[in-house]
Amino acid sequence: MHFKLIIIMAEDERTQNILDAAREAGITGCTVLNQARGEGVKPAKTFLGLSIDSHVDVILMLAEEHMSREIMERVAIAGEFDESSGSGIAFQIDVEDAIGVRHQIEALSEAVEERL
């Protein structure tokens, strides 16, 4: 079984909707890193030297390669990434090897067989 690492950076108020959408699409687990800070095309606004931009969560998900694109599409809809600038971004990279995912493989095997 081959995996993709889906990396999502989204405004923290969108995180729960994103996680719910990913679960519905078949993700078996994730890691959320809270209170990151991001900057897009337009620099963050400040007030008296203090940043007033929203916090960003970084969400890491290992997804089976045949399921990864659908998961990303659902995450993008749930996070409203294409609706407004700065709402979030998602991308995936190949995972060469992974240890500690035996339970995910067992849970995903049947779902992947149904899709193929």
Q: What is the mean pLDDT of residues 53-65?
A: 87
Tell me: pLDDT of 111 over 70.
Answer: no
Q: What is the mean pLDDT of residues 21-43?
A: 83
Asked whether 45 and 101 are in contact (CB, 8 A), the reply is: no
Tokens of 103: 């339970």
Predicted confidence at residue 75, as pLDDT, reads: 96
Predicted confidence at residue 101, as pLDDT, reads: 75
Phi and psi, residue 50, nearest 5°: -100, 135
Tell me: pLDDT of 35 over 90.
Answer: no
Query: How far, in Å, CA of 4 to CA of 63, rounded?
Result: 5
Tell me: pLDDT of 112 over 80.
Answer: no
Number of domains observed in the structure of the chain: 1
Q: Which tens digit of pLDDT belongs to each residue from 63-106?
A: 988 899 999 999 999 999 988 777 889 999 999 988 887 777 76
Q: What percent of the chain has pLDDT over 70?
A: 76
Rounded to the nearest integer, the mean pLDDT of the chain is: 84
H helix or E strand, kind and range, residue 83: none
Report CA torsion sign: 109, 110, 113, 115.
negative
Which domain covers residue 40, as residue numbers?
3-115
Give the CATH number for residue 74.
3.30.70.120
